[in-house]
Amino acid sequence: MTQAITVENLTKSYGSGEDALAVLENLSFGVDDGEFVALLGPSGCGKTTILKLLAGIGNDYQGSIRVHDDPITGPSGDVAMVFQQYALLPWKTVVDNVALPLVLQGKEGTAARTAAVDWLTRVGLDGFEASYPEELSGGMKQRVGLARALAADPDVLLMDEPFGALDYQTKSELQTKLLELWETEAKTILYITHDLEEALYLADRVLLLSCRPTSITREIAVPFDRPRRSRRVEIEGSAEFQELKRILRSELGLST
């Protein structure tokens, strides 16, 4: 299978000389086309740094980062990012926030808004087109962020703990919505989380990261057949799921 993301010997430090802080050290991994991969690791280990570099935010690093074999030298229409903090423009309506990347791509305003309305419907926000971000709940804001990222039709979706601040019910609903959209849109997703159950429910593979300077300590293939949306209770209640969760906790040095 073709690799959508290829990272080779990625090394990144902040500062210089004796004050330099090594964050990533000779980090290498790949993500196949259409694959869903979760990154798990301690806080501050550089997970967000990895996503930012993949998104073309900053180029002060050593090593190689490629998307579909093209080097990443700056922001690209092939890659979109969904942040933990919603990153919506407060002075724009919901529909204009979603339409923004399409306008920046050169799409005519009316066509961009029409496409944005369609994406808002797909993420369950029809009827909120004229609302402003301050009028929305956290879960609704994250739906807007997801719609905006997908409206740009990227090949790769980078997600930085997008549901981490949400309550359990909203988080579960958005996890299921994300799987539905991923299954229909066939995007490649690299997903940061601290939630072990979330990683095992969503991902095809889980990459475990060390403390700084970060490297990959273990890769775990998630064995559960897809689609999973209608079988969540069954999957999470299985002995295999519980054993994988135990392994992840052990690898991360968490109490069992």
Class of domain 1-78+155-164+185-255: alpha beta
Residue 42 has a pLDDT of: 85
Token digits for 199?
């990683």
Give every CB contact of residue 13 below 8 A, 6+ residues apart in sequence.
Answer: 20, 21, 22, 23
In single-letter form, the type of residue at position 123 comes to V
Specify the 3-state DSSP secondary structure of 36. Answer: strand
Q: Rg (Cα) of the chain, in Å, rounded?
A: 18
Sheet with strand 36-40: strands edge to edge: 79-82, 156-160, 188-192, 36-40, 205-209, 216-221
Angle of helix 109-122 relative to helix 94-104, nearest 10 degrees? Answer: 120
Task: Sketch the domain layout of the chain as residue ranges.
Answer: 1-78+155-164+185-255, 85-153
Tens digit of each residue's pLDDT, the chain (256 residues): 789 999 999 999 888 777 778 889 999 999 999 999 999 988 878 889 999 999 999 888 999 999 999 999 888 889 999 988 878 999 999 999 999 999 999 988 899 999 999 999 999 999 999 999 999 999 999 999 999 999 999 999 999 999 988 899 999 999 999 999 999 999 999 999 999 999 999 999 999 998 888 889 999 999 999 999 999 999 999 999 999 999 999 988 886 5
- The neighbouring-strand residues paired with 210 are none
Q: How far apart are CA 242 and CA 109, in angstroms?
A: 49
